[in-house]
Structures are given as structure tokens and as C-alpha cells.
Amino acid sequence: MKTQIHEKFVSLFGEGGTQFASAGRINLIGEHTDYNGGYVFPGAIDKGIVAEIKLNGTGKVRAYSLDYNAQTEFGLNEEDAPKEQWARYIFGVCRETIKRGGKVEGFDTVFAGDVPLGAGLSSSAALESTFAFALNELFHNGIDKFELAKIGQSTEHNYCGVKCGIMDQFASVFGREGCLIRLDCRSLEYEYFPFDPNGYKLVLINSLVKHSLGNEYNERRESCEKAVALMNEQFGQVETLRDANYQMLEAVKGSLTDEDYRRAKYVLDEKERVLAVCDALNEGDYELVGKKMYETHWGLSRDYTVSCPELDFLVEIASECGVTGSRIMGGGFGGCTINLVRDTIADLFISKAKREHARRFGIIPEIYHVVIGNGSRKL
Ligand code: GLA
């Protein structure tokens, strides 16, 4: 991929530039908790986005996407937003950097990725983080790493219509080989956890149902915010669901729709599960980790309502095969399940999942073996 990018860059713009990369991510547990001030447990993967970039001495960005085989050009003022979605990510990162007082001038770029799109592996965060990190280096802006992640998040909010949390961009920037990272999304404290579960592996199964986050995601967030507003009115000091407990939620249940209530309850349940998983990881109790993953899945499916028949089916197959843990990963509505599988049954499970999914839905899911890699970097 790196050579292809370089060759294209030279053919389009003459002399080559500098390459930067950022990663896609997995998340062991803690789903839809980030924008609720809770904990998440992501890690960067060995797949991501690579971009070659060179300043061009103009006020314009000339960008070429190898994957879409498409080129565009845009200026750096608010009214210059390009119409191509892929270019809006880059434009958004430029604008958010400028809003934070950073310098950004014209540049040429060619980029490509090997994170499957719409699979719940955060290809968009990888793209944002690559450019946020690169512009910071190239223009010597001295913006700290958390702010770089926030530049990506604000790009989603302000230029792509997704009111996402911080998890994906955080993992993409901060990832470290071999480690998962527990992030407290309220205090932004984080801790690296070496993850090498002896006798188990992490396997992703991509249902190939393309997910794109938008309205449905934002609606989940609104449900949580409604519950927060009511509890805050009654009890005070409830800024996010992180500050709430079951008694508070029960007290406002009558004023919430059943849908909003169940979504808020899911978030409270998930908060407890993440903490239980942290303890279980410290004890090396992967069976308990797996049990919690299944609970998360059914919470996401029945209460948070972000699953789909294909994902529920894949989790059921996992359970029938005796897989330790299995659940939807990421925002939901399609994409991958993440599976914690004992080495001894991995092959059997994978072939059964492929076969049964194909029989039921007419499509063979893709399998990815997770390798936990590094976050944003210059190559
Ligand atoms: C998407 C969002 C994240 C997070 C997850 C669900 O990936 O971008 O911020 O909310 O969904 O955990």
C-alpha cells in the first residue's frame, strides 16, 4: 500500500512527500458508553490509513483517494467544503485544526486504507487521525494528542453529522502494539493493558451488512440525554449517565418512554460490565470476560436496539459452538462481531459461522484475526 501511494503521489505531484499512518480499532467492551461519560476498552489494529503529504505553497488542498480513484481540490475557508464525503473528513480536520489556533496551509496528498469500510472498525477515525496527526507535525502546531483525537471527533460532529464519542479517535491516535487501553471518558484518564490471552484469540466476523452511523446513532444519544436531563432535574449533579444509578433511573421511569428508559438502563448495565471485565482481566479470568461480552450483545440488541438479524445470528452461532464471548462491536447496525475464542475451537467456529451465515443470508462473512497495533505515527 505504501509503495502504491508513493508512486501515485509522484505521478500526480512530482517529488514525493512524507507518509503518516493511523489505525482502525477494536473494542473489547464498553459500547455506547463513551458519550455517556463511561469506560471503554479499545485497542488499535494493524489495519488503518496511510497518507503521503507535502506542502504545496498554495492555499489549496489537492487530495487523491486511491480507494475511490478520485481526486478533488478545496480551499481552507469554511465555505470551501468539498462535496465528496471522503474529502469532507480531511477538510473537517483542517478546519478544526485552524479553529484551535493551529496553522494549516495548502498541501497535496494521496491516501489509501486497508480497514474494511462500514465494518465498525472506524475507518473514518483512522482517516481523521492520520490528517490531524500529520498536520500537527508538518505545521509544528504543538497540539497535544488528546486534542488531536478531539479534532477528529469534532470533524464527525461538525462536518459529517455523527455526534460520536471520543473512543474511536482516541484509540486511533493512542494505540500501542499488544495493548488494549482502558479509557475513562469522563476524566480522560487511561491505562494500557497488555493483552495476550494465552489459549484464546480475538476473531472478528464481518457480517458485511454495511453500517453507516447517522440519525439512528444520534437518536440513541438523545435518549440518553433525555434521561440525564430528568435525573438532573430531580437529583442534581447528573451531567451524564455516568453520574446516575438505578434508583435515580427508576425514579424518573414514569416520565420516559419505554424506549428511552431501556436505552438508559443498558448504559448503566454496561458501566458495571466494563468494571467487572477489568477485574476479570486482572485475574486472567477470560471465561468471565466472555460472559460479559454476551451480556453486552443482548443488551445492545434488545435494549439499545442497535443490532440486526445477521449480527444476532452470528452471536447465536458463537454461543452454540461454545465460543467464550461474542458481541456486536462498535456503533452497531451492521459490521462485525468480536469473538473471544479458545484456540482449540477457533477453526471449527469460523467454518461453521461462514457456512451457516451463507446458508441463512446468502453471503459468506469475512474473517479477520485481530493483531493489536500502533496508533498515529510518521512512517
Ligand atoms: C461509534 C462511535 C463511538 C462509540 C461507538 C459505540 O464507533 O464513533 O464514539 O460511541 O460507536 O461504542
Edge-first strand listing for the sheet containing 325-328: 325-328, 336-342, 200-206, 366-369
Is 114's pLDDT higher than 90? yes
- pLDDT tens sequence across 129-181: 999 999 999 999 999 999 999 999 999 999 999 999 999 999 999 999 999 99
pTM of the model: 0.95
> What average pLDDT does this structure show over 268-273?
96
Is 213's pLDDT higher than 90? no
Look at residue 211 in the predicted model and tell me its pLDDT: 76
Reduce the DSSP state of residue 96 to 3 states and report it: helix
DSSP state of 34: G
Distance of alpha carbon 206 from alpha carbon 49, whole angstroms: 19
State the distance from the centre of ligand 1 to the C-alpha of 167, rounded, in angstroms: 6
Banded pLDDT at 205 (limits 50, 70, 90): very high
Residues 198-229 as b/e (b if ≥16 CB within 10 A, e otherwise) read: eebebbbbbbbbebebeeebeebbebbbbbbe
Banded pLDDT at 117 (limits 50, 70, 90): confident
> What average pLDDT does this structure show over 238-251?
97
Look at residue 225 in the predicted model and tell me its pLDDT: 97
Catalytic center residues:
168
Distance of alpha carbon 202 from alpha carbon 323, whole angstroms: 11
> What average pLDDT does this structure show over 17-32?
97
Q: Whose CA is nearest to atom 9 of ligand 1?
A: 165
State the distance from the centre of ligand 1 to the C-alpha of 44, rounded, in angstroms: 14
Q: Is the CB of 165 under 6 A from ligand 1?
A: yes
Is 212's pLDDT higher than 80? no
Q: Is the CB of 168 under 6 A from ligand 1?
A: yes
Q: Which of 172, 246, 207 is nearest to 327 (CA)?
A: 207
Look at residue 210 in the predicted model and tell me its pLDDT: 85
> What average pLDDT does this structure show over 22-50?
96
Look at residue 69 in the predicted model and tell me its pLDDT: 96
Banded pLDDT at 86 (limits 50, 70, 90): very high
> What average pLDDT does this structure show over 259-265?
98
Look at residue 118 in the predicted model and tell me its pLDDT: 84
